Structure 1
Amino acid sequence: MAGWFTEGTTEEEFRLLGTRCSACGTVYFPREDGHCRNPGCAGGELAEVALSKRGTVWSCTDGRYRPPPPYVSDPAVPWVPYTLVAVELEAERMVVLGQAAPGVGVADLPVGSVVEVVPGVLDEDAAAGTVHTTWHWRPVAAEALS
């Protein structure tokens, strides 16, 4: 997922990365590096942009089963359910999917609530010493909204 989010940044600086067409302003996530896909645009330069850190919950659901490949999971490790979240980004008004942060469930994510993107772990291989990172969505506390 190289190029999909900032790496090596603090949690506060962490952002999803997209691209914006210089001709029509269309924003893409995941990034588009070939050409503007807007059929009404003659095309322009595509520049990397950091997307909104916050958004509102559009929908969410529980993932209560182990998905089939190509999802990475160790069958020797007990399955832990997770929550999938569809979030409408604050400025871009586009919906981005992702997992909720560990410990955050559907009951914590009412439609319309505010969430923020944070770094997360997709998979760890302790033997190889590798960690595959991703993004997660976490509720924003009411007092942080003011």
Structure 2
Amino acid sequence: MSAASTQPAIDGWFATDESGAPYLIGSKCHRCGTYVFPPRTNNCPNPTCDGDELAQVPLSRRGTLWSYTENRYPPPAPYPAPDPFEPFAIAAVQLADEGMIILGKVVEGTLAEHLKVGMEMELTTMPLYVDDDGVERVVYAWRIAR
């Protein structure tokens, strides 16, 4: 499939740099420096801050595996589940620089038995489904750091 027929499943959550490496797009409060993901433009999530202006910023590509689980049943609609369903791992990764924890699917073929709390993880992308127009929809995902 060509690059022109590949699009994010959700716009605005991640992008790629000049080298093609993906990065998450977060927001940072101008007043207190709190980060948030997915990105937003206002309403700081820090309950002790009354900041109402957030800037979009690239987030770290690497972090430490904070926790994980394995999804052993098909998720409900509208999430597209392959048939037959294959279990997949979900990782909670604490970003290296921001300290926030980002939840995401782990690349296909990586089950919970391959993961260990504290290991280094890195951001990547993976196909989620092909839409009715033949466009491959991709999501951000975690993989064990190389």
Q: TM-score range by the shorter chain?
A: 0.7 to 0.9
Shift of residue 45, structure 1, vs aligned partner: 2.9
Please tell me the root mean square deviation across aligned C-alpha atoms, in Å. 1.8
Please tell me the residue identity of whatever aligns with 1:25: G
Q: TM-score, normalised on structure 1?
A: 0.84
Question: 4+ runs of 1 displaced by more than 6 Å?
Answer: none
Aligned to 2:136: 131
Percent identity between the two aligned chains: 39
Corresponding residue pairs, total: 137
Partners of 1:7 and 1:114 in 2: how far apart? 21
- 2:109 aligned residue: 103
Which gives a bigger RCO, structure 1 or 2 (Cα 8 Å, sep 6+)?
2
Deviation at 1:92, TM superposition (A): 0.9
Pairs within 5 Å for 1:46-125: 46-73=54-81, 77-125=83-131
Segments of 5+ residues of structure 2 without an aligned counterpart are: 1-9
Residues 45-76 of structure 1, C-alpha deviations (whole Å, 9 max, x = no match): 311111110011111111111122232235xx
**What TM-score comes out, normalization by structure 2 length?**
0.84
Q: Deviations over 1:5-57 (max 9, x none)?
A: 1158645x310110011111111101122322323223253111111100111
| Structure 1 unaligned blocks of 5 or more | 142-146
CA distance in 1, matches of 2:13, 2:74: 24
